[in-house]
């Protein structure tokens, strides 16, 4: 086995990624004209395409490619008892300290223990407060008034901090409506909210984000084997996405990190420009969740195994929990490259290129007429009309062709089709490949099949 990388190996920096994301319309600061809202980001035209494509790819992998995994879209607002049962009201806390002098807030577990012991601010040397526990759930009120009756806040409601609980509370509904038999899984993609103390590194850790979670219900005793199987499948998923595999590693939770309910947990970590960080968690959650929901709801959530003499048990749950918005950041960093492509001694010698896998690239194919005149633009529009039913297309007729290629490289478009005078004469077009910059001529009629083949067989060059 090769040595594990200790430092990020590549040309990306968080500054470059943030700036490219804004310049090209992937991600903008939320409510920027008012000075921005920390912990929240807006996804622009290329960003939403990339996000949808990642979500679609994950959804296909989890549902379409499995016999026994179905989907769900549960509400963000859930009965508050859900979060008592799940343990979030009691345990979903981060330790927090404030500097009395500069007012900066820190997560106590993320600063040097020496500073904590001496109560000394890592930024200004001022005095730190005692460590307090801070619950990460956003609270709000439902209904027209904030009624506080004695000690009990009747209208209190939480924004969900994870999508998983929406799956657990629907597990019986899904068994009944879809005649699911254990083992089976439920997949869900959706928003989650956490009042994070420190939000930095662009969209890595935000207060509003999206998760892609799959909860797999199994018979107790088969959980360890299934857990190992899901570890393999989730690793293979990133391999298929064409991610740099030496930038991925496993991290097993030690006894001090393991959640109180978990029997075993591994994170898949990615080597971001700021270091190794969690991308996805794979957890053996034991029978904790359904046991607790049984207790708190008073509903019997046992599974009745009709094929085994009506044997009853509370299933174990294996969870795969990935961040959608964090995966998007990972792919931006992973795809980012800078390359010298000419030797003219000016800015055009270099290109910035996003080497996205074609299945997630926001634009799959750009159609570029060499000239606007002489009917080339019309011919290009005609070709685009033919391709757009099956492929995400873009059309660009302005500027020198080299500049247009660079613009598409920077957006991560894997294929460009150029229409020139020869296209008018003999019906052939030029297909240009983003990664190698190679070009081939082919009859227009062969384009759809050729593109499909290139997408299917795509192998990243570097
Ligand atoms: P951490 O310890 O870093 O706060 P966590 O271990 O609590 O995170 P999980 O609850 O396991 O995270 O969440 C599953 C996945 O959801 C994470 O692997 C990550 O991809 C994503 N995620 C969690 N919190 C955030 C956040 N604040 N912003 C963006 N993505 C997040």
Q: Which of 40, 164, 195, 323 to mutate to test the pocket of ligand 1 (most atoms within 8 A of CB)?
A: 323
Cβ atoms of 409 and 354 closer than 8 Å: yes
Count the neighbouring beta carbons within 10 Å of the beta carbon of residue 426: 10
Cβ atoms of 151 and 125 closer than 8 Å: no
CA 388 vs CA 308, 339, 366, 391, 442: distances in Å:
52, 30, 10, 5, 19
Q: Is 173 exposed, middle or buried (0-12, 13-18, 19+ CB in 10 A)?
A: exposed
Q: From CA 314, how far away is CA 168, in angstroms rounded? A: 12
Q: From CA 83, how far away is CA 86, in angstroms rounded? A: 5
- Average pLDDT in the 2-8 region? 83
Distance (Å) from CA 209 to ligand 1 centroid: 9
The first and second tokens of residue 274, run together, are: 């700021």
pLDDT band (50, 70, 90) for residue 260? confident
pLDDT band (50, 70, 90) for residue 305? very high
Distance (Å) from CA 322 to ligand 1 centroid: 8
Cβ atoms of 430 and 417 closer than 8 Å: yes
- Average pLDDT in the 266-286 region? 97
Distance (Å) from CA 73 to ligand 1 centroid: 19
Q: From CA 414, how far away is CA 393, in angstroms rounded? A: 11
Distance (Å) from CA 373 to ligand 1 centroid: 52
Which segments within 85-167 are labelled E, that is strand?
A: 93-98, 105-107, 132-135, 139-141, 148-149, 152-153, 156-158
Of 191-200, 215-224, 287-296, 407-416, the one with minimum mean pLDDT is 191-200
pLDDT at 152 over 80: no
SS3 at position 75: coil
Q: What percent of the chain has pLDDT over 70?
A: 98
Model pLDDT for residues 59-93, shown as the tens digit of each residue: 999 999 999 999 999 999 999 999 999 999 999 99
pLDDT band (50, 70, 90) for residue 3? confident
Q: Is 136 exposed, middle or buried (0-12, 13-18, 19+ CB in 10 A)?
A: middle
The first and second tokens of residue 53, run together, are: 């494509």
Q: From CA 332, how far away is CA 357, in angstroms rounded? A: 11
pLDDT at 144 over 80: no
Model pLDDT for residues 37-52, shown as the tens digit of each residue: 999 999 999 999 999 9
Cβ atoms of 211 and 74 closer than 8 Å: no
Which segments within 146-202 are labelled E, that is strand?
A: 148-149, 152-153, 156-158, 184-193
Which residues line the pocket of ligand 1, CB cutoff 6 A? 162, 194, 196, 205-206, 209, 211, 278-281, 321-323, 325-326
CA 25 vs CA 29, 36, 205, 360, 415: distances in Å:
11, 16, 20, 16, 20
Cβ within 8 Å of residue 102, ≥6 positions away: 121, 123, 124, 126
In the prediction, which pLDDT does 183 show? 97
Helix ranges (DSSP H) in 204-263: 223-240
Model pLDDT for residues 343-400, shown as the tens digit of each residue: 888 878 899 999 999 999 999 999 999 999 889 999 999 999 999 999 999 999 999 9
Please tell me the residue having the least CA distance from ligand 1 atom 25.
Answer: 205
Per the rule left: phi > 0, alpha: psi between -120 and 50, beta: everything else, 114 is: alpha
Please tell me the residue having the least CA distance from ligand 1 atom 11.
Answer: 281
Q: From CA 39, how far away is CA 41, in angstroms rounded? A: 7
Distance (Å) from CA 277 to ligand 1 centroid: 10
In the prediction, which pLDDT does 148 show? 54
Going by the DSSP 8-state scheme, the letter that residue 124 receives in this structure is T
Please tell me the residue having the least CA distance from ligand 1 atom 19.
Answer: 323
Model pLDDT for residues 436-459, shown as the tens digit of each residue: 999 999 999 999 999 999 999 999
Distance (Å) from CA 323 to ligand 1 centroid: 7
The secondary structure of the chain in percent helix, strand, coil, rounded to multiples of 5, reads: 35, 30, 40
pLDDT band (50, 70, 90) for residue 125? very high
């Amino acid at each position: 086995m090769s040595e594990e990388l200790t430092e990020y190996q590549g040309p990306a920096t968080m500054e470059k990624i943030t700036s490219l994301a804004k310049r090209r319309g992937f991600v903008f600061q939320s409510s920027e004209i008012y000075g921005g809202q920390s912990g929240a980001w807006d996804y622009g035209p290329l960003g939403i395409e990339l996000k949808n494509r990642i979500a679609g790819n994950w959804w296909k992998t989890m549902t379409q490619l499995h016999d026994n995994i179905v989907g769900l879209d549960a509400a963000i607002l859930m009965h508050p008892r859900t979060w008592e049962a799940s343990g979030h009201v009691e345990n979903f806390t981060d330790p927090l300290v404030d500097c009395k002098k500069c007012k900066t807030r820190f997560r106590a577990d993320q600063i040097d223990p020496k500073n904590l012991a001496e109560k000394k601010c890592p930024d200004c040397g001022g005095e730190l407060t005692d460590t307090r526990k801070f619950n990460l759930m956003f609270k709000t009120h439902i209904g027209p008034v904030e009624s506080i009756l004695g000690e009990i806040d009747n209208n209190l409601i939480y924004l969900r901090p994870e999508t998983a609980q929406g799956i657990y509370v629907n597990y019986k509904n899904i068994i009944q409506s879809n005649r699911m038999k254990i083992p089976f899984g439920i997949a869900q993609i959706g928003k989650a909210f956490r009042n994070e103390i420190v939000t930095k590194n662009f969209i890595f850790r935000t207060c509003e984000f999206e998760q892609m979670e799959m909860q797999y219900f199994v018979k107790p005793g088969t959980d360890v084997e299934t857990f190992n199987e899901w570890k393999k499948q989730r690793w293979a998923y990133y391999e298929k996405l064409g991610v740099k595999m030496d930038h991925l590693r496993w991290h097993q939770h030690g006894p001090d990190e393991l959640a109180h309910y978990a029997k075993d947990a591994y994170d898949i970590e990615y080597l971001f420009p700021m270091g190794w960080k969690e991308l996805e968690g794979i957890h053996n959650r034991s029978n904790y969740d359904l046991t607790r929901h049984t207790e708190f709801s008073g509903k019997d959530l046992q599974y009745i195994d009709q094929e085994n003499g009506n044997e009853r048990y509370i299933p174990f749950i294996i969870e795969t929990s990935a961040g959608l918005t964090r995966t998007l950041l990972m792919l931006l960093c992973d795809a980012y490259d800078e390359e010298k492509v000419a030797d003219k001694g000016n800015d055009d010698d270099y290109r910035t290129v996003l080497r996205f896998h074609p299945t997630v690239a926001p634009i799959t194919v750009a159609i570029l007429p060499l000239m606007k005149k002489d009917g080339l633009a019309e011919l290009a529009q005609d070709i685009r009309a033919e391709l757009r039913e099956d492929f995400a297309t873009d059309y660009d007729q302005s500027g020198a062709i080299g500049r247009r290629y660079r613009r598409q490289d920077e957006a991560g478009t894997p294929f460009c089709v150029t229409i020139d005078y020869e296209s008018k004469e003999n019906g052939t077009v030029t297909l240009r490949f983003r990664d190698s910059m190679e070009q081939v001529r082919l009859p227009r009629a062969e384009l759809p099949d050729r593109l499909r083949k290139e997408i299917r067989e795509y192998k990243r060059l570097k």
